[in-house]
Amino acid sequence: MDHRKKKKDYIKEALLCIFILSIATGVGYLFQYIKFPDTNIVIVYLLAVLLTARYTKGFIFGLTASIIATFCFNYFFTIPYYTLSVDNPSYIVTFIIMTFIAFFTSTLTSRVMLHALQAKEKEAETRALYTLTNRLTDAQSMKSIAEIAVETISEYMNCQAACLLFNEEGMPEGSFIQQVERGRQVRRETDEPEELKHRFSGLRTDFLIGGEFYDWPIYGQEDLLGLIRIPGNRGASITGIQMRLLHSMIENVGIAMDRLHSSMERIRDRELIVQERYRSNLLRAISHDLRTPLSGIMGTSEVLMNMTDKKDSRYSMMEGIYMDADWLHSLVENILSLTRLRDGKVPLHKELEAVEEVIGDVLQHMEKHKPQIEIKAVIPDELLLVPMDARLISQVLVNLLDNAVKHTKGTEEISIEVVKDNNDNTVKFYISDRGEGIKEKDLPNIFEMFYTSKEKHADARQGIGLGLSICEAIVKAHGGTIQGGNRIDGKGAIFTFALPLSDDRKEDGNV
C-alpha cells in the first residue's frame, strides 16, 4: 500500500515539474514576443527550477528540472530554434552558468525543505514525549502509568499498542492493557507468561519479535518492570526516528514506574515505622499495666504473710497468692521477650557484654526468687565479651535455670558453665542438672511452642510451654545454636547454647 502511494506521489511531482516548466516556457514565448532580452527568460527558468525544488520532495526533481530548463531554453529560445544546437557560442557559457545556478538553487531549496521536515518531526517527537511525561507525573498507580503509556504510544505510532506489567516477583501479570481505538482500552489475557519471562531473561537485542506483538522491555533501575507491545505488522515497518522516539518514551515510562515504586516503598516504610511505634507503645502499656498490679499483689501478699503466723492456714493461702503472682510475672517477662523478638524484624540491640556479669545478674535473680537453691557457676579466667542483648540472654539463662529447678529435688546439683570454643569462635553455655532428665518421647519436641510434657508434676505448675521456645528464638536471633538432652555422665538434663563471639552484622540483617 505504501509502495503504491509513493509511486503515485512520484507521478504527481513529475507532472508538477513538467507543468511548471511548461508555464516558464510559455512566459518565455511571451517575453520573446514583446522583445525582452534573453536574460529575462533565463531568470524565469531559474524561478521555475526554484519552484519545482520547493514543491517536490527530495533532490531528484530539482536537479532534473535544472537540466531540463537549460535544454528547454536551448531548444526553444536560442537560434536556431527547435534544435539543441547553437549558433552563438557565447550561449554555451549562458547554458553552463544557468545549469549551475539552477543546480545550486534547487539543492539549497531542497535542503531547506528537508530541514524543515526534520524540524517538524522533531517537534512532533518532543511534543509526544512532553505529553507523555506530563501525563505520567500525575499517575498514581502502575495501572494508570500503563494506560497512559498505551494511549500515547498508540496515538503516536498509529497502532493498537499494549502494555504488560510485571509484578513484584518479576513475573508477567496475568493480563495486559491494549488500546483498541481512541479512548478505548481493553484487558487481554497474557499467553504463557513463564515462557515470555524466560525469553526476556536472555534478551540481547532491543526488542523481542513474538507472534502477535513486537515486545519492547521497560527496564527500571533494578529489574524488568513491564513490556510495551506493538502489533507485529506495525512493528515491522517502524522507522529509525520512530524507533528512537519509542525508546525515549519507554525510558520515560520506566522512570515513572521506578519513581512510583520508590514512593510506594517510602509509604510502606513509613507505615512500618508507625506500626513499630504502635507495637512498642503497646509493649510499654502491657509491661506497665500487667506488672504494676502484679507488684501490688506480690507486695501486699508478702506483707500479709509477714503479719501471719506460719502455722495459720491463711499463711499458706497467702503464700499461694504470692507464688502465683510471681509465676505470672515471669510469664509476662517471657511474653515481652518474645514480642520483642517477633519475626526478628526489629534488629536486636546488641552490645558487647561481659559474660561473667550477665551470669552474676542471673544468679542474683535466682537467689532472690529461689533462695533455697544453690547453683554452681564456673566461668573461664579470661574476660569474655560477647555481643548480645543482655536482657534477652538473661531471660534464656533464667528460663533454663528455672527449668532445672523445676525438675530437680532439694539437693540435686544445678550448674552453669561457660567455655570459650576457639574452633568455631563461639562461647558455649552449659546449664545442667542432676534431676530426672528429659523423657525420651519428649526430646524431639522440647523447643516447640506450647509443647508441655504429658507427665504431670505433682508439685510443679503446668507451664504453657513457652520457656524453651523463647530460649530458642532468642539464641537464634543472636546467630547462635541451642540443644537440649540428657547427660551422658549419669542422670540429669543438660542444655547447651552457643553465641558467636564476633558480631556479624550481615547475618544480623537477615535474622
Stretch 298-317: interaction string toward another protein, x if CB under 8 A: xxx-xx--x-----------
450: its cell numbers: 506450647
- Measured CA to CA, the distance from residue 85 to residue 105 in angstroms comes to 26
Examine residue 334 and tell whether it contacts another protein (CB under 8 A).
Answer: no
363: its cell numbers: 544468679
Examine residue 428 and tell whether it contacts another protein (CB under 8 A).
Answer: no
Q: Closer CB to another protein, residue 272 or residue 285? A: 285
The angle at the Cα of 173, spanning 167 to 176, to the nearest 5 degrees, equals 125
Examine residue 65 and tell whether it contacts another protein (CB under 8 A).
Answer: no
Q: Write down the least CB distance from residue 399 to another protein, Å.
A: 16
Q: Closer CB to another protein, residue 265 or residue 357? A: 357
Examine residue 358 and tell whether it contacts another protein (CB under 8 A).
Answer: yes
Number of H helices, E strands in the chain: 13, 13
Any idea which residue has 536574460 for its cell? 39
49: its cell numbers: 527550477
Name the residue among 213, 217, 162, 154 with its Cα closest to residue 187.
162
- Measured CA to CA, the distance from residue 426 to residue 432 in angstroms comes to 19
- Measured CA to CA, the distance from residue 338 to residue 430 in angstroms comes to 22
Q: Write down the least CB distance from residue 355 to another protein, Å.
A: 8
Stretch that binds another protein, among 291-299, 419-427, 443-451, 469-477 (CB under 8 A): 291-299
Q: Write down the least CB distance from residue 282 to another protein, Å.
A: 14
Contacting residues for 424 by C-beta, under 8 A, at least 6 apart: 498
- Exactly one of 115, 120, 266, 288 binds another protein (CB under 8 A); that residue is 288
Examine residue 197 and tell whether it contacts another protein (CB under 8 A).
Answer: no
Q: Write down the least CB distance from residue 386 to another protein, Å.
A: 11
- Residue 25 CA from chain centroid, whole number: 72
Q: Write down the least CB distance from residue 292 to another protein, Å.
A: 5
- Exactly one of 317, 338, 363, 373 binds another protein (CB under 8 A); that residue is 363
- Measured CA to CA, the distance from residue 226 to residue 167 in angstroms comes to 8
- Measured CA to CA, the distance from residue 119 to residue 389 in angstroms comes to 68
Query: What are the helix (H) ranges across 370-480?
Result: 390-406, 467-477
- Exactly one of 44, 113, 161, 359 binds another protein (CB under 8 A); that residue is 359
Stretch that binds another protein, among 34-42, 74-82, 292-300, 473-481 (CB under 8 A): 292-300
Q: Write down the least CB distance from residue 295 to another protein, Å.
A: 4
280: its cell numbers: 512498642
Examine residue 329 and tell whether it contacts another protein (CB under 8 A).
Answer: yes
Contact set with another protein (CB under 8 A): 284, 287-288, 291-300, 302-303, 306, 325-326, 329, 333, 336, 352-354, 356-361, 363-364, 368, 377-379, 381, 383, 385, 390-391, 394, 416, 418
